[in-house]
Amino acid sequence: MVARTFLVRHDDSTFTVDYDTDDGFEVFQFQLFSLTSIPPDEQKIVGEDNDRIISDDSDLAAVSEKLQLVSITSEEARKPEKQEETTSSTTGAGNFDAGTSVMSDEELARMLQAEEEALLLQQYVAGDNRAHFEEKVRPHISKVLLYEDPVRQEAARKTVPLDNLEEKALVSLAKEGNFKPSKVEEDHAFLLQLLFWFKRSFSWVNAPPCDGCGNETTAQGRGDALPSEIQYGATIVELYRCNSCSRVTRFPRYNDPLKLVETRTGRCGEWANCFTLYCRAFGYESRLVLDFTDHVWTECYSEALGRWMHLDPGEAIYDRPLLYEKGWGKKLNYVIAIAKDGVYDVTKRYTRKWNEVLSRRAITTESSVVSVLTSITKECRRNCTSQVLSILEERDNIEREALERDLRSTDDAPISLPGRQSGDKQWRIARSEFGTDSLSSSSCTVRICSDEHVTKIYNAFSSILHKFVEDSLTASKGVEVLKILRATVVDLKKLPYKKRRASLKPNSVVGTSLVHQLLPSFKELLNALSLKSERDSNGILSVCLAGDPVQTALALPVALHALDELISDLSKCDNFSKGSLSFPLLRLNRICSGAVLASGEELPFGIATAAFDGTRMSKWEEPNGAKGCWIMYKLSANMQELVAYELMSANDAPERDPMDWVVEGSNDGGLSWHVLDERRSEMFDKRFRRKTYNVKSTGFLSNMFRFRFLAVRDVKSTSRLQVGSIDLYAKQN
């Protein structure tokens, strides 16, 4: 039901916008985006009658119908430099980035008062144990210096599948439409892929398997370290007795990352220790971060972000510094970052409850903490040149300002963070770090969908199937031809992304002459994959790169999954003929290259655009969508008539499959909606099951489509909805 109609003024134009309370404020922002091209995260909406800034549904309910829309970016650009300096000095927190949400004056006053009281109280409860604080920090200096050893760095690099991670990094950027990334962007993307690879290659140890029979073991206490273990820093050795054969297995807690590169086992200490070496081995400025409440992780300086970035290798989570306080429920006290050039108190990056943290910092006074860290840092920098010292000191000042700014930011308020995922469940519960089973999730931003290659691949099969009919191939023989193409795609995927070349190999059913005969019909598919065919002097056909290898890397998984489905569909054709060449065997005129917004998404692997990327390897996941959620697709060009669509179930958790939904179209950029199709009690009988639906209400031209998912298959057992893929098909002209 439309609750209100707003008149929104932007620059010299005024727009009439219907606000539906069922849709919520995010949809209202997306409507404004469709009208003004200002993304939601850059919108500043103000009530014209009282200058009230609108930030949620309740604000909209409290203002008159006249609103003004301003682009934050444009507004910041118009501010005179002197005004910015005045604002900074007033807040005492440096220059705020455009779009950063900060507390209201009242909230800030309350926080500062609480911090002042906590700091005053801390003077009475903090011990005078400066030496104990220093003893907890200083031993880690020698550990981080090991990361600078060329031998250790080379040992780490040798274990990394470099080509594979480079390919994944570039493909991740290409999925965002960035096919020409800068070196800085490439480095940032590679670091994230290094993190994900490390999570898969390193093993968490709750209790090691028996060295003799491989069965489960039970902890038996500790033993004395052997000389061969002490050699690699294992001062602690845990002992475990086999539950089957009673053999004792040793678990040395190695501290030398060189040994950890070999064993690739351990708990958070080993994980962070080894991963930080990997980061240094690839040239990233890195720190080992020590949490006094018993956890360790890594920070790297991201040139792309212009700041230090949190990375937890055990959780494969990055840039979520509130993970521990907000997700795990940890009661932090001291978080110290340790690098080759100094030690830093970065606790404020990991909390939004500084006054509470202050009450727990009881080892020594705050002035002693500063004194100890300053002294150690000077020692670390004693051999630095004056030029290097100047650079380091400037970075230190910038970081201090950033820590104060972040402490008072509310940007992360809508982000849902998980409890600890690594380690045995009972162990996590015992440590009060279990939290929830949720992964990191947040409200969704507008994302550009770079999926034109998916549409090109789908269209390319038309010429192949038409050639089958023209040459009177049976469906079974056509399947064999497609299997040859599939085998070639598989071979190409296995090769380094810059050196892809594979043969089209005939089989006992499809001979060389038939492959040569059909070759012209393959051209469109090869073009869609940035590939070309070549024939050597012996008549052997091969397929190789014809353009940007990243385009090929992005498209090959789509082609593989499309071939799997086409082979399955063609195998079911009893009488294959020209009449068979229709939807859904031919999936023509797929809509692509739009903008996507959803009610929510899973970070980092369940984002909204994953629903449109054409592969089974990804999915859109809405953490709170079981009882209702939505996803919208805004066209980039002319209006289209939606005549059909397809949904595919995701890789796991059938209870999260969509069951009831409504498909709507809008011809005014989301101001009003027309129901195109409704489905109830739909069931996906297996994983990766694609279901095709013809739109019931045709003839309506739209520039935006919306799926409103009303319920999942088993709403009692999950809070989530997930969709493997969504494909939209327009009427052919």
Catalytic residues, which ones?
Answer: 268, 295, 312
Name beta bridge partners: 13: 10
> How many Cβ atoms from other residues are within 10 Å of residue 255's Cβ?
20
Q: Are 335 and 350 in contact (CB under 8 A)?
A: yes
| SS (HEC) of 360-381 | HCCCCCHHHHHHHHHHHHHHHC
DSSP 327: I
Closest CA to 565 of 659, 649, 688: 688
| 723 φ, ψ (degrees, to nearest 5) | -135, 130
Q: For residue 287, give Cα distances in angstroms to 33, 147, 205, 290, 589.
A: 40, 10, 24, 9, 50
Contacts of 46 (CB under 8 A, 6+ apart): 52, 53, 54, 67, 68, 69, 70
Q: What share of the chain is helix, strand, coil (3-state, %, to 5)?
A: 40, 25, 35
Q: Which amino acid is at 608?
A: A
For residue 44 the two structure tokens come to 């500043």
Cα 186 from Cα 37, distance rounded (Å): 28
C-alpha to C-alpha distances, 370 to 297, 308, 366, nearest whole angstrom: 22, 20, 6
Tokens of 534: 């070549």
What is the Cα–Cα distance from 113 to 508, expressed in whole angstroms? 82
Q: E strands of 443-562, at which residues?
A: 447-448, 501-503, 531-535, 541-545
What is the DSSP pairing of strand 265-266 with strand 601-602?
unpaired
